């Protein structure tokens, strides 16, 4: 039930042993989603706690491709998951595992989405749930979800990193099972995003992922590598990690070519989901970027908001700010000449627009108030 190796202190990783998967045929004909790939998930699927997660839309975005300056761009819209973010892929496996282990309750620290997702899956599983969030720094929609699903919400007077330290200290005292991304079983669920991309597009792609605690990019890379090892993929994609300029510890590590992460003490960005200064999965993510000959870049809040607006207005895809970081990053890398412009790009958009209902971010926007009369409407429209 542990999370770290007793010998070296690093986070545990799940190793898939001998699995019999002869080809993609094995999965075809099954419903899309995380459990389509059950042979590759080391958990008892007959007892799964599921709300039909995964199987999210892969959307071709020609207008966004032009805006970004690349030939072909797709959005993998993780906002279409049951609680509106990619976390559901991890939680369906993680919470199923928690039951398998006989846990009586679960706990996480969160910038919001993990809390929303865990609260929902814990409710479905009948487990107690405690979520620790940085006070005043999580988006409204996410807080609402945690409350609605009946979690105990602990507002920590500090940032996400402080909340996670507290959770790691408190979990065993409280007898609760941790479901942050340091939990290796949760990442097993998240790796299924790679399976879906591989099934739809093959390996010859570049995959851009917003990076906070470094869990998702690690999980996705693990998924691709497993397929490659099983002979289901002929090659491997290139991983692109994007961080916010004000919360860049992983990007700095990669850019400086170092081997030890230097934490950022006071991370700051409008993309609250990735406002993280001490990402726990940095070693796994570093392997992902280096092995895939990938790249990591940072983007400003302004670039994030521009990308959020472009997604919404050019393609009709509504995502929260952190999710737009992947698109903002690809645009910047394209301008810098650091991505292969002719190789397909997939931007993983991790969470839904409604998570962070903040019209202020969309200036300029059009809004008028009218009497319920045609004359008044016509009059007011004439002034625009």
Q: Which residues bind ligand F0G (CB under 6 A)?
A: 85, 110-114, 181, 210-216, 273-274, 320, 322-323, 350-351
Which residues face 178 on adjacent strands? 107
Considering the complex, what minimum distance in angstroms separates the CB of residue 374 from ligand F0G?
43
Of residues 75, 108, 111, the one with CA closest to residue 3: 108
Of residues 12, 1, 7, the one with CA closest to residue 283: 12
Q: What is the DSSP string of 162-229?
A: HHHHHHHHHHHHHT-EE-STTSHHHHHHHTHHHHHHHHHH-S--EEEEE-SSSHHHHHHHHHHHHHHH
CA torsion sign, 210 to 310 to 345 to 347?
positive
Output 68 or 143, the one with its CB closest to ligand F0G.
Answer: 143
Considering the complex, what minimum distance in angstroms separates the CB of residue 107 from ligand F0G?
12
Considering the complex, what minimum distance in angstroms separates the CB of residue 372 from ligand F0G?
39
The distance of Cα 311 from the centroid of its chain, to the nearest Å, equals: 17
Exposed (0-12), middle (13-18) or buried (19+): which is 336, by Cβ within 10 Å?
A: exposed
Output 92 or 114, the one with its CB closest to ligand F0G.
Answer: 114
Q: Give Cα separations from 190 to 92, 111, 172, 181, 217 (angstroms).
A: 9, 18, 25, 10, 9
Which tokens is 202 given? Answer: 């093959």
Considering the complex, what minimum distance in angstroms separates the CB of residue 24 from ligand F0G?
27
Output 10 or 379, the one with its CB closest to ligand F0G.
Answer: 10
Output 198 or 244, the one with its CB closest to ligand F0G.
Answer: 244
Considering the complex, what minimum distance in angstroms separates the CB of residue 235 from ligand F0G?
24
Considering the complex, what minimum distance in angstroms separates the CB of residue 180 from ligand F0G?
7
Output 232 or 284, the one with its CB closest to ligand F0G.
Answer: 284
Considering the complex, what minimum distance in angstroms separates the CB of residue 284 from ligand F0G?
10
Taking the CA of residue 165 as centre, how many other CA atoms within 13 Å lie in the half-sphere pointing to its CB?
10
Output 212 or 249, the one with its CB closest to ligand F0G.
Answer: 212
Output 106 or 232, the one with its CB closest to ligand F0G.
Answer: 106
């Amino acid at each position: 039930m542990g999370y770290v190796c007793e010998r070296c202190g690093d986070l545990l990783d799940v190793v898939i042993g001998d699995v019999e998967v002869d080809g993609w045929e094995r999965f075809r004909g099954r419903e899309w989603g995380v459990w389509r790939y059950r042979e590759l998930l080391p958990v008892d699927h007959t007892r799964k706690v599921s709300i039909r997660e995964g199987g999210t839309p892969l959307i071709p975005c020609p207008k966004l491709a032009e805006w970004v300056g690349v030939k072909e761009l797709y959005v993998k819209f993780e906002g279409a998951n049951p609680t509106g973010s990619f976390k559901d892929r991890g939680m369906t496996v993680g919470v199923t595992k928690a039951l398998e282990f006989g846990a009586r309750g679960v706990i996480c620290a969160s910038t919001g989405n993990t809390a929303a997702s865990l609260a929902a899956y814990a409710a479905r599983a009948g487990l107690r749930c405690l979520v620790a969030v940085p006070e005043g720094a999580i988006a409204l929609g996410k807080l609402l979800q945690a409350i609605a699903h009946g979690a105990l919400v602990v507002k920590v007077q500090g940032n996400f990193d402080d909340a996670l330290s507290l959770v790691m200290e408190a979990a065993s005292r409280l007898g609760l099972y941790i479901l942050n991304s340091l939990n290796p079983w949760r990442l097993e669920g998240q790796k299924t995003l790679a399976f879906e991309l591989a099934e739809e597009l093959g390996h010859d792609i570049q995959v851009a992922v917003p990076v906070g605690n470094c869990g998702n990019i690690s999980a996705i890379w693990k998924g691709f590598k497993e397929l490659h090892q099983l002979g289901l993929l002929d090659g491997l994609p290139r991983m692109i990690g994007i961080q916010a300029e004000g919360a860049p510890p992983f990007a700095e590590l990669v850019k400086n070519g170092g081997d030890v992460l230097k934490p950022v003490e006071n991370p700051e960005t409008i993309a609250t989901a990735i406002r993280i200064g001490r990402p726990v999965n940095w070693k796994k993510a570093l392997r992902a970027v280096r092995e895939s000959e990938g790249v990591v870049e940072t983007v400003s809040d302004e670039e994030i908001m521009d990308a959020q607006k472009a997604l919404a207005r050019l393609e009709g895809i509504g995502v929260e700010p952190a999710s737009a970081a992947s698109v903002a990053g690809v645009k910047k890398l394209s301008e810098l000449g650091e991505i292969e412009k002719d190789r397909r790009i997939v931007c993983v958009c991790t969470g839904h627009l409604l998570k962070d209902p903040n019209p202020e971010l969309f200036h300029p926007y059009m809004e008028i108030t009218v009497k319920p009369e045609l004359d008044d409407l016509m009059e007011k429209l004439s002034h625009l």
